[in-house]
């Protein structure tokens, strides 16, 4: 790393710390403060030289955020709520993507390739935003689990759908695309999702077996870092879901390596506590950089030039989220997984978009005629999500606290 890069990173982290102090003193969401700080830096003429790119988000920032959240997802609770979470994450993502795609094609007059691609990338409720909000608001335990688990799995589902559509677009452009069949799509989804989960479990299990032979907490932390990044990067290299691989790895480490309830726990007491502290810190760093870069890049994005598609896209995303949440949760009414009306409203309005959607948008095929519009509309939707939904969701969350 060059000296200038070191100074730049240090400055960004100092700004993040100051923003965190101010936001927590005034009870405001930390993520929103960071985005505002990023906008301010950009408008002041300061350019850090660190760009918000798909490679930075996927290879550096997303793995620690997903892994840290997965460490706290208890297997017993996931087993109890699994049917609801998976229905929302997979069925809801598909429904939301279709609603948005139809709206962008019919109202914004985008072509089907761009409409489908935008629908898939914007269907992801970004775990970076959701998890940060849940932590700050000290949300109800079950609500927090549902939102975090759905966001994490939904994240992987949206990335998989996006990759399949992008491959189809590129194949058509080069003449290499084969016939698209329902069975082919289903097999690709199964392979990508199942392969990611199995790979993450295998990588984490192997590293936990090694960790079980050490009583050095520094070695234990290092092995969990290898589990987080190794599972993600290896999965991407093998063209399966990196997000779901890291999610599976994190859940295995949290439930088998750290949990005091686990038989044959692999990490020592000191190692388990050190691992939790380390990943809390890593998540703070990743969150800080992500939201600062979102603000910096968003400030120079020509959203005004595409204001009509941006309005259509924002309304379509809200409609798609409503179609994903309300009918699916209604299917579980009368079961032990039933959710009340207020919880449904929070699941709907709390479906924030963030770094993942932007990373996918920036990675969209450049051959798309609507490429520039797609990126700008994605930034507009994320801005609405962070500033409007992010500021108002805490009001609903406080109602759940008062109700309890």
pLDDT band, residue 151 (cuts 50/70/90): confident
Flag whether pLDDT at 397 surpasses 80: no
pLDDT at 160: 86
- Using the predicted structure, report yes or no on whether residue 1 has a pLDDT greater than 80: no
pLDDT of the residue at 172: 65
- Predicted pLDDT at 402: 58
pLDDT above 80 for 193: yes
Instruction: Tell me the domains of the chain and their CATH numbers.
Output: 3-403 (1.20.1530.20)
Model's pTM, two decimal places? Answer: 0.88
**What pLDDT does 322 receive?**
96
- 91-104 tens-digit pLDDT: 999 999 999 999 99
User: Residue 255 pLDDT more than 60?
Assistant: yes
What's the 3-state SS for the chain?
CCHHHHHHHHHHHHHHHHHHHHHHHHCCCHHHHHHHHHHHHHHCCCCCCCCCCHHHHHHHHHHHHHHHHHHCCCHHHHHHHHHHHHHHHHHHHHHHHHHHHHHHHHCCCCCHHHHHHHHHHHCCCCHHHHHHHHHHHCCCHHHHHHHHHHHHHHHHHHHHHHHHHHHHHHHHHHCCCCCCCHHHHHHHHHHHHHHHHHHHHHHHHHHHHHHCCCCCHHHHHHHHHHHHHHHHHHHHHCCCCHHHHHHHHHHHHHHHHHCCCCCCCCCCHHHHHHHHHHHHHHHHHHHHHHHHHHHHHHHCCCHHHHHHHHHHHHHHHHHHHHHHHHHHHHHCCCCCCCCCHHHHHHHHHCCCCCHHHHHHHHCCCCCCCCHHHHHHHHHHHHHHHHHHHHHHHHHHHHHHHHHC
- Report the percentage of the chain scoring pLDDT > 70: 89
- Mean pLDDT over each residue of the chain, to the nearest integer: 86
Q: Report, as an integer, the average pLDDT of 80-84.
A: 93
Q: How confident is the model at residue 306 (pLDDT cuts 50, 70, 90)?
A: very high
> pLDDT-based confidence at 301, cuts 50/70/90?
confident
């Amino acid at each position: 790393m060059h000296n200038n890069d070191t100074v730049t990173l240090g400055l960004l982290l100092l700004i993040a710390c100051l923003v965190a102090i101010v936001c927590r003193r005034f009870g405001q969401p930390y993520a929103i403060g960071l985005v505002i700080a990023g906008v301010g830096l950009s408008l002041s003429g300061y350019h850090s030289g660190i760009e918000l790119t798909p490679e930075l988000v996927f290879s550096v920032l997303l793995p620690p955020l997903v892994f840290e959240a997965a460490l706290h997802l208890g297997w017993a609770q996931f087993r109890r709520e699994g049917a609801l979470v998976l229905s929302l994450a997979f069925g809801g993502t598909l429904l939301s993507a279709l609603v948005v795609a139809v709206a962008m094609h019919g109202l914004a007059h985008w072509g089907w390739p761009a409409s489908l691609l935008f629908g898939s990338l914007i269907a992801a409720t970004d775990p970076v935003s959701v998890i940060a909000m849940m932590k700050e608001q000290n949300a109800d335990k079950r609500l927090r689990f549902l939102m975090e688990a759905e966001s994490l799995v939904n994240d992987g589902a949206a990335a998989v759908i996006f990759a399949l559509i992008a491959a189809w677009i590129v194949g058509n452009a080069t003449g290499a695309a084969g016939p698209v069949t329902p069975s082919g799509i289903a097999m690709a989804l199964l392979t990508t999702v199942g392969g990611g989960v199995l790979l993450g479990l295998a990588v984490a299990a192997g590293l936990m077996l090694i960790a079980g032979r050490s009583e050095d907490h520094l070695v234990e932390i290092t092995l969990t870092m290898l589990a987080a990044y190794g599972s993600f990067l290896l999965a991407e290299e093998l063209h399966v879901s990196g997000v779901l691989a890291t999610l599976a790895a994190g859940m295995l480490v949290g439930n088998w390596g750290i949990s005091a309830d686990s038989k044959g726990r692999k990490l020592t007491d000191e190692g388990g506590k050190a691992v939790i502290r380390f990943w809390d810190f890593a998540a703070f760093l990743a969150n800080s950089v992500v939201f600062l870069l979102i603000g910096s890049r968003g400030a120079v994005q020509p959203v005004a030039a595409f204001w009509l598609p941006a309005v259509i896209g924002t309304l379509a995303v809200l409609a798609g989220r409503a179609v994903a949440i309300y009918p699916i949760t209604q299917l579980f009414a009368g079961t032990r997984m039933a959710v009340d009306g207020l919880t449904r409203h929070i699941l709907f309005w709390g479906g924030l978009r963030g770094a993942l959607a932007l990373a996918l948008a920036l990675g969209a095929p450049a051959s798309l005629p609507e490429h520039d519009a797609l990126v700008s509309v994605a930034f507009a939707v994320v801005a609405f999500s962070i500033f409007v939904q992010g500021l108002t969701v805490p009001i609903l969350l406080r109602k759940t606290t008062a109700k309890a």
